[in-house]
Structure 1
């Protein structure tokens, strides 16, 4: 056996002697990606090429030629124009881009108009903070202009950041909810809801932000733990001697508005004397827990009755000179409290419904700023409800009617932007009814029922649990409060006469919509009512109120409410899809823009955008705005906690892209199971970067071995005899890959697509094929058939693989595509379709390949076991120092031993008599100084080199030609 020093010396000498005779790889596709520097150049290049415009133009040309492309419309739910993009945007925008790019490359006409939600409380709240105490004194138009500037600045910033994520969209023509044309579209939807008979105005309790003095929707709430005081209070009954009612409430500040006490008519109530108190009615099931609060025994009840026996009896309010009465309510339970529910119709949804049924006033003594008005006792007037909480408790205790009070922690709704607790407060608002039979497209069906039907029958959900989640939201939702009390928003175009009667009809709204479409919603604040209604003819409006003649219009007062921003963003299906956007640039050339094929957002949007898009679309068109809904989870840290700057666990998208590049971030997104919440950690991006580099290195090997190769003139046509070649095997794997990845893309299973692509690069190519063909690529004749056949295969693989990688790694795929087409400066993979592998699939592939690859596992195991033994005893362990002797039964007919030797990475494969695989030590046999193989043909040659037959043939031909 040669000494190690001799082996190293011979290796070096051979490499140097014959280096110029090798077909060494060469490519402009760099090993180091430099993504941070090179990706922005890709963005500029795509903008210069007009990639999105070219795709749209091709679709239009196909339509004009009478062969329209199939349409696929993914509609963008508008992010809020406030702050930099965050990890949730990274996930959401990359997923949407995977949809757009993969569908476009699949041959669909796939327009994608990005949007931004620009109105509403969060922006106004931030602007008012910047303006300071004097901000509230500014007139609405000045506030609005500052809000518009703020929103515009963040739209620009977020657009740049989304483009830096390498997303493909019509960024030249995004839709903004503050755009006048969009605002007119929202008003058109509102007019349609008025025609359906679903809009009404009423005084009822709504979630109210004291901090911002506006109504809030359920979707604008966040729930945080809060410590509050709960009280058990005894109300003395009238005309019943010393009897009383024990109520329980967690909001003592609502007690001044108490008008009734609710009981369950079929629940049992007992009259108890607890802790020396006069006889008091308590639900029998809850009495033990109530007594335990005072740590006293519970005597037996003096008597027991059903709740219905208490209904109609009256009581004296404990500190307001007012009489209340006992009323029935099915929602009363024996789960907690006392079974007697303090009822204030102006401060609770169930209380309000009970009050309507019982004819109670919708009494709300709390002003918009959270202070009491003059209808409460003197000692509460003008005080904040939060301040009054403790004073009420002290007053109840002083008057001897407080049975028990305690501090407790509970989950309580907070304003999603101000982060302050909200209250239920009765105010006059505009509502959309969900349980009223509608006219028009719904033909007598309620909006709730139409929504449940649409969720159940007309929409596909991915993952499937999204269906039940959205169904549950629709089943439990109250009427939709459409109005807000803000300056920065789209005004609800309601007008009022001197008696407070409203003018709001479909025709009047459409007349105002024309003005706002021309001049923007600021017009509402500087034009008089008569000018806003200049195009409205009450005589031609069948819904106009009798008092609304021409003379009355000039004296009308404009309403002060703006739309809920969810209604604005939820109307995007009309302004963007149904009407088209920007002269129909974003409308599919096929004309099939509505409904969208896909809405894709986070799981919070079942409560938000999904639901608030569905309901108006059903009311106006009778059909949902989407055919499919794809939901992804939230980003949480590796311990499952919400990510936030305050917790110190937030990762900035800009920082991640600066450290890793957008393609690595996109590769990470594609690797995720997005059905549930997604755990995030800096280390995960490093892991994604390592996987990316393996893919990149695979592409580099492919491209570097195609240097100078052209399919035209260089391509080898596969023949039947090639079916047992490694090239045929890989061709079959390539066809399988293409079919599987494209199916995964169509099914929005991006993790599956990424796994298939990585497995093909890392295992099929790098782990098997590329190692096996390296020798022939470097050492065969440059234009030898076997090498050209392998190059033909490499070219096929590259053209298919790069396109399949395009949706996930747009920069890297396009960089590789440019390297594959060095003579075409405008070559762009994103203008291509996925490769049609039908012709490739015609390549003859031996049916024995699966059995051979299964046998290879045994052969490689034998080699590995040999190497382990060789390391222990100092024997040969280098792959090319080994050979294999295979049982005749394991060498399928027609398979070339040389091909199998390359497949296993050894110098030689032979057929033997034994029944088991044998590993042969070839280290004592001569080694080729050019290929380093010991294939049994190596011997001294006329140039004094030690070469195999194959290598001498190549070298001698080069000598002869040169």
Structure 2
């Protein structure tokens, strides 16, 4: 009891001078108490519309930071947070004297959302699925995800016009996108052609460069093979080596050999006929490197002769483990117009052609050319009128056109079967694994192939110079961003904008049922744009052809069918300047700032640039500028 009284006395003693100290009084809580305070602050910001009220009160110029749309296919991650916080910092700083409008956006179409929806269904539902049902489910999923992401952005404290976001699935946005597409059609920048594109067997659709990611650890089955010469050129330099002389090629895609149409050589390089003599004793020929000496090296041919680039003789001698003796040297031009047996079908229809892009950095200096399976091969094929053969279906399997390989996966059993066939028919020199950089589908994470199909393209060549000129007039922060995008635009081939999927904005084209000729005119595009503006793009799937055609063509509706391709989602998001900045009141067009991660130099920055320049420039290539300032940040 005495201890208790002593403690009470000490407590009174401690507080007896309180009244002599004049301390400040505040209602500010000593604890964060975020569980209670965060919702209260968010409610305060939303109810008082802080961004709008402060912006309206300011007397300075209008400022627009155009929001690049995140994908509506999952919860937010740190990249989303970094992106929006950086934008919010800029907008808040400028609130000191500018009228700021920040319209948040979402990318809502495309394969990632379609795959999420498909994976959520059981087998019975999938079997009963129609395009319109899939689209309805995809739209519902996207809207739910947008709402979830929006609430998360609000919790972070981002100031934006959350009541009026832009969604790429909204009818008004889709109509604006079709307007951009139509203007590019009328300017002659959109065309349909059969050429090799990046194709994803796992997703069964064409892909653009921005939809690829490159694996540094991909291992291919590379081979050196020999194609037998049957008819040398008119010079007669090879006559003495017949009938045992072959052209040596190297490839990391043996599955493309059934589509071989030519072998390309550089006319300016030096080539040599080498005789294969004794096998060298080395680790490379004893299995130490997991290599396999091919049939041609053990065929028993008395004097097998191989043609390779002169500069590579010593390298190949070491790699093949065979003594190579040079018998004759000559320029590559001597080889042009030689004929050889096709390595698979045995026809004497293949020819040696010239190609100044060929070097001696790797391979043999002779390039197996299949115009249906490579960009350089395709361009070379056009120059020489070569056939564009591509015996591969949507799933990445050989078609009947590939003969005995029909039905086999080109990235699996088909590839191995081609190598085995070459070995059995005395055409294989060497087989070895080759680790290199290889394109993968960024969604399925599976390898892609180059495959020639009928697709819709935007001809970047038609407005490349204007785009490069516009890039110079943009302030890039940091400055090296300019070099990055210049290099990408300078070397870009035509943009493949068609996708073989259901969830997206349709390419508004009709095909004649007999000739397959496309019908796409200013009248048809305008008519479909008006329908989409009113009903949304679902109308393309549920309305009949005669309803989708304008009056001018309606009496011929039975002669046409509507196409099923949709647009690349980069075309969707790349049209946001037209659907948002150029349409909504209180926004600047061009926008003042675009701010995204560095990966968008090949994505949204680029698609926005290309669609803007292709539609807004005058015929004399007078560019309309994109943002006056363009920031990029390190991707998280």
Contact 1:234 1:245 in 2 (8 A): yes
Name the counterpart of 1:111. 101
Mapped pair 1:126 → 2:116:
yes
Report the alpha carbon displacement of residue 293 of structure 1 after superposing the two structures with TM: 1.9
Aligned residue among 581, 596, 599 for 1:601: 596
Report the alpha carbon displacement of residue 136 of structure 1 after superposing the two structures with TM: 6.3
> What is the rounded CA distance, in whole Å, between the counterparts of 1:53 and 1:103 in structure 2?
13
> What is the rounded CA distance, in whole Å, between the counterparts of 1:500 and 1:234 in structure 2?
40
Unaligned runs of 5+ in 2: 1-10, 233-241, 278-296, 298-302, 618-623
Name the counterpart of 2:464. 448
Aligned residue among 495, 503, 519 for 2:535: 519
> What is the rounded CA distance, in whole Å, between the counterparts of 1:297 and 1:36 in structure 2?
78
Name the counterpart of 1:381. 406
1:37-61 CA-to-partner distances (Å, cap 9, x unmatched) read: 42222111111222234245546xx
> What is the rounded CA distance, in whole Å, between the counterparts of 2:509 and 2:55 in structure 1?
40
Mapped pair 1:465 → 2:480:
yes
> What is the rounded CA distance, in whole Å, between the counterparts of 2:386 and 2:38 in structure 1?
66
> What is the rounded CA distance, in whole Å, between the counterparts of 2:321 and 2:74 in structure 1?
53
Aligned residue among 345, 356, 359 for 2:382: 356
Is the partner of 2:323 in helix, strand or coil? coil
TM-score (norm 1): 0.59
Report the alpha carbon displacement of residue 454 of structure 1 after superposing the two structures with TM: 1.1
> What is the rounded CA distance, in whole Å, between the counterparts of 1:41 and 1:601 in structure 2?
31
> What is the rounded CA distance, in whole Å, between the counterparts of 1:527 and 1:115 in structure 2?
29
Q: Map residues 621-632 of structure 1 onto 2, 5 A cutoff.
A: 621-622=616-617, 623-632=624-633
Q: Map residues 210-359 of structure 1 onto 2, 5 A cutoff.
A: 210-224=201-215, 225-240=217-232, 241=242, 242-275=244-277, 278-299=304-325, 301-322=326-347, 323-359=349-385
Aligned residue among 559, 572, 575 for 1:568: 572
Name the counterpart of 1:792. none
Is the partner of 1:390 in helix, strand or coil? helix
Contact 2:191 2:458 in 1 (8 A): yes
Unaligned runs of 5+ in 1: 1-11, 60-67, 437-446, 538-548, 636-962
In structure 2, relative to structure 1, the CA distance for the partners of 1:608 and 1:75 (3 Å cut) is same
The 10-residue stretch of structure 1 (150-159 or 608-617) with the greater mean CA deviation from structure 2: 150-159
> What is the rounded CA distance, in whole Å, between the counterparts of 2:69 and 2:625 in structure 1?
18
Q: Map residues 729-768 of structure 1 onto 2, 5 A cutoff.
A: none
Report the alpha carbon displacement of residue 393 of structure 1 after superposing the two structures with TM: 1.1
Which is bigger in relative contact order (C-alpha 8 A, separation at least 6)?
Answer: 2
Mapped pair 1:531 → 2:547:
yes
Mapped pair 1:154 → 2:158:
no
Contact 1:490 1:562 in 2 (8 A): yes
Aligned residue among 579, 582, 599 for 1:578: 582
Name the counterpart of 2:197. 206
Name the counterpart of 2:280. none
> What is the rounded CA distance, in whole Å, between the counterparts of 1:633 and 1:136 in structure 2?
43
Aligned residue among 174, 177, 180 for 2:171: 180
Q: Map residues 190-201 of structure 1 onto 2, 5 A cutoff.
A: 190-201=181-192
Contact 1:232 1:403 in 2 (8 A): yes
> What is the rounded CA distance, in whole Å, between the counterparts of 1:427 and 1:239 in structure 2?
33
Mapped pair 1:405 → 2:434:
no
Mapped pair 1:618 → 2:613:
yes
Mapped pair 1:557 → 2:557:
no
1:614-673 CA-to-partner distances (Å, cap 9, x unmatched) read: 0110111121332211000023xxxxxxxxxxxxxxxxxxxxxxxxxxxxxxxxxxxxxx
Aligned residue among 493, 508, 524 for 1:478: 493
> What is the rounded CA distance, in whole Å, between the counterparts of 2:522 and 2:581 in structure 1?
21
In structure 2, relative to structure 1, the CA distance for the partners of 1:450 and 1:21 (3 Å cut) is same
> What is the rounded CA distance, in whole Å, between the counterparts of 1:210 and 1:133 in structure 2?
21
Name the counterpart of 1:789. none
> What is the rounded CA distance, in whole Å, between the counterparts of 1:36 and 1:411 in structure 2?
49
TM-score (norm 2): 0.88
More strand per residue: 2
Contact 2:441 2:447 in 1 (8 A): yes
Aligned residue among 164, 175, 184 for 2:155: 164
Is the partner of 1:500 in helix, strand or coil? coil
Name the counterpart of 1:27. 26
Contact 2:339 2:351 in 1 (8 A): yes
1:92-122 CA-to-partner distances (Å, cap 9, x unmatched) read: 0100111112112x22111011000000011
Mapped pair 1:510 → 2:536:
no
Is the partner of 2:317 in helix, strand or coil? helix
Contact 2:56 2:99 in 1 (8 A): no
1:844-880 CA-to-partner distances (Å, cap 9, x unmatched) read: xxxxxxxxxxxxxxxxxxxxxxxxxxxxxxxxxxxxx
1:7-41 CA-to-partner distances (Å, cap 9, x unmatched) read: xxxxx999855532332022122233233542222
Report the alpha carbon displacement of residue 246 of structure 1 after superposing the two structures with TM: 0.3
Name the counterpart of 1:753. none
Report the alpha carbon displacement of residue 296 of structure 1 after superposing the two structures with TM: 2.4
Is the partner of 2:451 in helix, strand or coil? strand
In structure 2, relative to structure 1, the CA distance for the partners of 1:294 and 1:163 (3 Å cut) is same
1:115-155 CA-to-partner distances (Å, cap 9, x unmatched) read: 00000011111222222555266211111111111111111
> What is the rounded CA distance, in whole Å, between the counterparts of 1:33 and 1:413 in structure 2?
49
> What is the rounded CA distance, in whole Å, between the counterparts of 1:239 and 1:598 in structure 2?
63
Is the partner of 1:204 in helix, strand or coil? strand
Is the partner of 2:392 in helix, strand or coil? coil
How many corresponding residue pairs? 582
Report the alpha carbon displacement of residue 248 of structure 1 after superposing the two structures with TM: 0.5
> What is the rounded CA distance, in whole Å, between the counterparts of 2:90 and 2:249 in structure 1?
56
More helix per residue: 1
Contact 1:274 1:291 in 2 (8 A): no
Report the alpha carbon displacement of residue 297 of structure 1 after superposing the two structures with TM: 2.6
1:209-262 CA-to-partner distances (Å, cap 9, x unmatched) read: 101110001111111222220000000011242221001100011110000111
> What is the rounded CA distance, in whole Å, between the counterparts of 2:336 and 2:483 in structure 1?
39
> What is the rounded CA distance, in whole Å, between the counterparts of 2:602 and 2:45 in structure 1?
37
In structure 2, relative to structure 1, the CA distance for the partners of 1:520 and 1:343 (3 Å cut) is same
1:375-408 CA-to-partner distances (Å, cap 9, x unmatched) read: 122x211211121111111111111110000012
In structure 2, relative to structure 1, the CA distance for the partners of 1:520 and 1:550 (3 Å cut) is closer
Contact 1:320 1:376 in 2 (8 A): no
> What is the rounded CA distance, in whole Å, between the counterparts of 2:258 and 2:39 in structure 1?
63
> What is the rounded CA distance, in whole Å, between the counterparts of 2:62 and 2:573 in structure 1?
23
What is the Cα-based RMSD across aligned positions, in Å?
Answer: 1.9
1:810-845 CA-to-partner distances (Å, cap 9, x unmatched) read: xxxxxxxxxxxxxxxxxxxxxxxxxxxxxxxxxxxx
> What is the rounded CA distance, in whole Å, between the counterparts of 1:195 and 1:515 in structure 2?
20
1:854-911 CA-to-partner distances (Å, cap 9, x unmatched) read: xxxxxxxxxxxxxxxxxxxxxxxxxxxxxxxxxxxxxxxxxxxxxxxxxxxxxxxxxx
The 10-residue stretch of structure 1 (553-562 or 158-167) with the greater mean CA deviation from structure 2: 553-562
> What is the rounded CA distance, in whole Å, between the counterparts of 1:630 and 1:411 in structure 2?
29
Q: Map residues 892-903 of structure 1 onto 2, 5 A cutoff.
A: none
Contact 2:257 2:343 in 1 (8 A): no
Report the alpha carbon displacement of residue 313 of structure 1 after superposing the two structures with TM: 1.0
Contact 1:529 1:558 in 2 (8 A): yes
Is the partner of 1:303 in helix, strand or coil? strand
Contact 1:128 1:136 in 2 (8 A): no
> What is the rounded CA distance, in whole Å, between the counterparts of 1:551 and 1:309 in structure 2?
60
> What is the rounded CA distance, in whole Å, between the counterparts of 1:128 and 1:286 in structure 2?
51
Structure having the higher Rg: 1
> What is the rounded CA distance, in whole Å, between the counterparts of 2:468 and 2:275 in structure 1?
50
